[in-house]
């Protein structure tokens, strides 16, 4: 909404509209519950955003400009109401309006269930990018899936993770979404390929034996302080009517898969794996469904705007969020070849100039491959096209490196060592005009370790775009007190121009500013402490260091290294009479993939250690351990502003970027971290004095492995470490049940400690001791915290998007 429109915003009309929506929901103002009012508020606001969404969609200037299509199987958007109010510039006036109705805005906002349509970093990044595209008015459409159930809800039963379905839209539906049945498409699966002859040419035509409808729901992505609203278009799988199914060949209809795959199941649930490929058929079906519907919609928009097919790359670019939507590449080829009957070279010239691919991981277990036989059965025509792409590609490889069989083998889309598999990353690199990693170090490693041959074959194709976060949600909205303090000093432009935060640095040594800054931090810590008290019944000391590790549970992220440090603090408190430490609360929040046993064991161990420490009267309030259940965006919004210390402790070379590191630094937390992912760039920005770097770097890891790493050495030589590890085997944390925590012990001892926890332990403890020392000097600590907030403006996702726009997409902003 423009300033003029905001000025014109009619509060009393809005109140009437809210009451009307309440009535439509079947409630009377006198008896309505908070939840009913929240729904009425959401629906009343959505009227405005839907209007702007449709207007943006029909904007001629946008139709004649180039757009980015962000294809992602995950969009972890979080609650929309509060954020959209900020973007619309209506937060205060709506707070007034609901106040006049006898309600509290923050209470109403609390009623919204998070749409958790993603697992973690990759999905949240997609949400931040949509926010930054809309804020800067670069034409964009987000394409995702309309999962009926988002990421599972987590609870603990005696310390063990339990999963429950996340029915985020139930029972009343989600107030912000708009269904677009007119844009429904039909998506095929299985079947066979026929040859058709026409006018002396032969064409191939896929005849699918299963068809599922893709119906889109649009969520409004509201540009900050602009009336630009882009759609996040989420496809829902729906069964064709039995009547329409009659049209199919009876023999094909009884295809074996037809029985188990009910079309309504296709988008039932988000796969809860993060960085681990399980290779399930239904997941490949989701991927194809998403890709085909999105490619179909992009082509529809392109042609309806009156553009020629061959001009597609000039008007549309398609960004692939990791390899999950890779099948969009052969799908576009199929449509161009078989439906529009272009020649191969013409079709390839279009497709290979349209797609760009972002890699988010080097972990081998996260690199997607699909069995060739499954692919050939589910998508027979696509498999033919993939073979043809590969065949032509391998001819280029032969040209470049004649007779080099090893190069052919590593570069081929098909891995033929063992069961033949389709390597989705290779297909992506071949079919894309640009490939990028997500932090400087990560992009270097993509070139050096993951795709060295591709980098040699296509110099310059692999680039870097360092990730970012939206300062609207991750500072202005989640930390209003700090936001107001900043605005008092440097004005109100910073949420759209985060580099301006640099001006805050001049106050880093100002004693008054330090006090105010730390008072804000303390209030945020109190808000979190209150949450913990009322939800977990643990009493926290807000003078303590709030030490925070919040991210998916994964062995490479080393939550168990943090746990070993916690245990050693506990043991020192009990055993060393002269041991003194600043009080600490160590927070964890993390979901484990339901099938990931070790991750679940680590959660269980943290919960058991927490229970013991928190109930040991000898510890008092020197040390508390809090595992916050059901980590999600709305929980992060409470935790992040309260963090003093941000744990970013992955083994070097494994965390592609991290984005929680950026969020906490922006909110004035100091990072304890390895030289991994974007930590490297955070250090560059804030300076060595304002970050705690420890442990082996990427080269150190390689060297240690070459020398032959033996975790036993550290175990035997470091008494603190040995005692911490041994306590996992006895009854210290599991009274009467020794051995329950053995899986964690085994992971770092018997299993060889694949992520080098024990190798980094001593230096990790050293870094924590530095933190302990520095925290006691409140003025010094405040200075460091202020400088973190001031110096991380680079990590605005607005900057990331501008990097994509300038170096990859080549878009122009269209101001509405």
Length of the chain: 816
Q: What is the SS3 assignment for 392?
A: helix
Nearer to ligand 26Y, 312 or 356 (CB): 356
**Residue 83 near residue 45, CB atoms below 8 Å:** no
Is residue 130 part of the contact set for ligand 26Y (CB under 6 A)?
Answer: no
Q: Where do the H-state alpha helices sit in 509-591?
A: 511-536, 559-575
Choice from 15, 35, 238, 276 touching ligand 26Y (CB under 6 A) = 276
| Nearest distance from C-beta of residue 593 to ligand 26Y, angstroms | 9
- Supply 86's token pair: 């900020």
Choice from 82, 89, 120, 237 touching ligand 26Y (CB under 6 A) = 120
In the complex, which residue's CB is closest to ligand 26Y? 121
Choice from 36, 148, 274, 316 touching ligand 26Y (CB under 6 A) = 274
> Hey, which residues between 566 and 625 contact ligand 26Y (CB under 6 A)?
none
Judged by CB under 6 A, the stretch of 272-280, 374-382, 415-423, 760-768 that binds ligand 26Y is: 272-280
CA–CA gap between residue 57 and residue 470 (Å, rounded): 23
| Nearest distance from C-beta of residue 443 to ligand 26Y, angstroms | 11
Give one DSSP letter per residue of 325-361, joined into a string: TTTHHHHHHHIIIIIS---HHHHHHHHTTTEEEE---
Choice from 83, 119, 646, 800 touching ligand 26Y (CB under 6 A) = 119
What is the phi-psi region of residue 405: left when phi exceeds 0, alpha when psi lies from -120 to 50, beta otherwise? alpha
CA–CA gap between residue 463 and residue 443 (Å, rounded): 7
| Nearest distance from C-beta of residue 719 to ligand 26Y, angstroms | 34
Distances (CA, A) of 478 to 9, 59, 535, 547: 25, 33, 20, 19
What is the contact mask toward ligand 26Y in residues 524 to 553, using x (rule: CB under 6 A)?
Answer: ------------------------------
SS3 labels along 416-444: CCCCCEEEHHHHHHHHCCEEEECCHHHHH
Q: Which of 624, 663, 784, 799 is catalytic?
A: 663
> Hey, which residues between 656 and 695 contact ligand 26Y (CB under 6 A)?
656-659, 677
Size of the site for ligand 26Y (CB under 6 A): 22
Q: Which of 521, 551, 608, 632 is catalytic?
A: 551
Q: Could you confirm whether 360 is annotated as catalytic?
A: yes
Q: Could you confirm whether 21 is annotated as catalytic?
A: no
Choice from 113, 360, 407, 473 touching ligand 26Y (CB under 6 A) = 360
Q: What is the SS3 assignment for 260?
A: helix
CA–CA gap between residue 207 and residue 693 (Å, rounded): 58
> Hey, which residues between 784 and 813 contact ligand 26Y (CB under 6 A)?
none
Nearer to ligand 26Y, 317 or 361 (CB): 361
Exposed, middle or buried, 305 (CB in 10 Å: 0-12/13-18/19+)?
A: middle
What is the contact mask toward ligand 26Y in residues 408 to 447, using x (rule: CB under 6 A)?
Answer: ------------------------------x---------
**Residue 357 near residue 323, CB atoms below 8 Å:** yes
* Residue ranges with strand state E in 278-325: 316-321
Nearer to ligand 26Y, 142 or 191 (CB): 142
Nearer to ligand 26Y, 175 or 658 (CB): 658
Q: Which of 153, 360, 521, 784 is catalytic?
A: 360
Nearer to ligand 26Y, 209 or 287 (CB): 287
CA–CA gap between residue 317 and residue 312 (Å, rounded): 8
Strands 210-222 and 185-189: antiparallel
CA–CA gap between residue 119 and residue 204 (Å, rounded): 39
CA 90 to chain centre: 27
Q: Could you confirm whether 63 is annotated as catalytic?
A: no
| Nearest distance from C-beta of residue 319 to ligand 26Y, angstroms | 13
Q: Could you confirm whether 268 is annotated as catalytic?
A: no
| Nearest distance from C-beta of residue 361 to ligand 26Y, angstroms | 5
Q: Could you confirm whether 407 is annotated as catalytic?
A: no
What is the contact mask toward ligand 26Y in residues 277 to 316, using x (rule: CB under 6 A)?
Answer: x---------------------------------------
Contacts to ligand 26Y by CB under 6 A: 119-122, 125, 273-277, 360-361, 366, 368, 438, 467, 655-659, 677
Catalytic residue positions?
360, 551-552, 557, 659, 663
């Amino acid at each position: 909404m423009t300033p003029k429109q905001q000025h014109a915003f009619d509060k009393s009309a809005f109140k009437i509209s809210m009451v009307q929506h309440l009535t439509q929901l079947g409630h009377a103002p006198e008896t309505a519950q908070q939840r009913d009012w929240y729904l009425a508020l959401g629906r009343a606001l959505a009227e405005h955003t839907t209007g702007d969404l449709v207007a943006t969609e029909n904007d001629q200037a946008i139709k004649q400009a180039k757009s980015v299509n962000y294809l992602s199987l995950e969009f972890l958007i979080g609650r929309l109401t509060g954020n959209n109010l900020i973007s619309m510039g209506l937060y205060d006036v709506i707070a007034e309006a609901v106040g006049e109705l006898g309600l509290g805005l923050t209470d109403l906002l609390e009623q919204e269930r998070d749409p958790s349509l993603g697992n973690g970093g990759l999905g949240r990044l997609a949400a931040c990018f949509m926010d930054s595209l809309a804020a800067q008015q670069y034409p964009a459409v987000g394409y995702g899936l309309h999962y009926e159930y988002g990421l599972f809800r987590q609870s603990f039963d005696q310390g063990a993770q339990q999963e429950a379905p996340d029915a985020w839209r139930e029972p009343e539906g989600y107030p912000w979404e708009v269904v677009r049945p007119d844009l429904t498409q039909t998506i095929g699966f299985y079947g066979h390929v026929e040859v058709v002859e026409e006018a002396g040419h032969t064409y191939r035509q896929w005849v699918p034996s299963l068809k599922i409808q893709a119906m889109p729901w649009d969520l409004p992505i509201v540009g900050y302080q602009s009336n630009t609203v882009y759609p996040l278009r989420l496809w829902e799988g729906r069964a064709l009517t039995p009547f329409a199914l009659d049209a199919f060949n009876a023999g094909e209809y009884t295809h074996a898969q037809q029985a188990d795959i009910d079309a309504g199941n296709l988008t039932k649930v988000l796969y809860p794996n993060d960085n681990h490929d399980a290779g399930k058929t239904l997941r490949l079906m989701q991927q194809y469904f998403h890709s085909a519907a999105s490619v179909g919609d992009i082509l529809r928009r392109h042609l309806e705007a009156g553009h020629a097919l061959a001009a597609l790359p000039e008007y549309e670019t398609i960004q692939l969020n990791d390899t999950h939507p890779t099948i969009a590449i052969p799908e576009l080829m199929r449509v161009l070849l078989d439906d529009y009957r272009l020649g191969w070279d013409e079709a390839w010239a279009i497709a290979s100039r349209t797609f760009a691919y972002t890699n988010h991981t080097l972990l081998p277990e996260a690199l997607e491959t699909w069995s060739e036989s499954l692919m050939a059965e589910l998508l027979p025509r696509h498999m033919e096209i993939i073979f043809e792409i590969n065949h032509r590609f391998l001819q280029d490889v032969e040209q470049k490196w004649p007779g080099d069989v090893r190069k052919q083998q590593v570069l081929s889309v098909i891995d033929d060592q063992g069961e033949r598999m389709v390597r989705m990353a290779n297909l992506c690199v071949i079919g894309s005009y640009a490939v990028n990693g997500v932090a400087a170090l990560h992009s270097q490693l993509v070139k050096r370790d993951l795709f060295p041959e591709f980098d040699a074959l296509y110099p310059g194709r692999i680039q870097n775009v360092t990730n970012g976060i939206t300062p609207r949600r991750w500072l202005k909205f989640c930390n209003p007190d700090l936001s107001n303090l900043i605005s008092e000093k440097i004005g109100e432009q910073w949420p759209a121009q985060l580099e301006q935060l640099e001006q805050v640095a001049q106050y880093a040594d100002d004693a008054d500013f330090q006090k105010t800054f730390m008072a804000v931090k303390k209030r945020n810590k109190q808000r979190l402490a209150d949450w913990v008290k009322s939800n977990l019944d643990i009493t926290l000391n807000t003078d303590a260091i709030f030490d925070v590790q919040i991210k998916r549970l994964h062995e490479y992220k080393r939550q168990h290294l943090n746990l070993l440090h916690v245990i050693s603090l506990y043991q020192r408190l009990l055993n060393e009479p002269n041991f003194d430490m600043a009080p600490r609360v160590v927070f964890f929040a993390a979901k484990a993939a339901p099938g990931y046993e070790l991750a679940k064991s680590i959660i269980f161990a943290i919960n058991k250690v927490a229970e013991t420490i928190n109930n040991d009267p000898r510890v008092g309030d020197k040390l508390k351990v809090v595992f916050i259940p059901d980590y999600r965006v709305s929980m992060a919004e409470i935790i992040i502003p309260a963090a003093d210390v941000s744990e970013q402790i992955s083994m070097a070379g494994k965390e592609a970027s991290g984005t929680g590191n950026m969020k906490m630094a922006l909110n004035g937390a100091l990072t304890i971290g390895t030289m991994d992912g974007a930590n490297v760039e955070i250090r560059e920005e804030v300076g060595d004095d304002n970050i705690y770097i420890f442990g082996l770097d990427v080269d150190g890891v390689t060297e240690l492995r070459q020398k032959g790493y033996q975790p036993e050495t550290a175990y035997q030589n470091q008494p603190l470490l040995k005692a911490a590890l041994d306590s996992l085997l006895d009854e210290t944390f599991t009274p009467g049940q020794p051995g329950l925590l053995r899986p964690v012990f085994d992971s770092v001892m018997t299993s060889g400690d694949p992520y080098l926890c024990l190798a980094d332990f001593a230096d990790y403890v050293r870094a924590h001791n530095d933190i302990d020392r520095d925290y006691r000097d409140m003025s010094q600590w405040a200075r460091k915290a202020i400088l973190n907030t001031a110096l991380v403006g680079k990590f605005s996702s607005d900057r990331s998007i501008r990097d994509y726009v300038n170096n990859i997409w080549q878009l122009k902003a269209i101001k509405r």
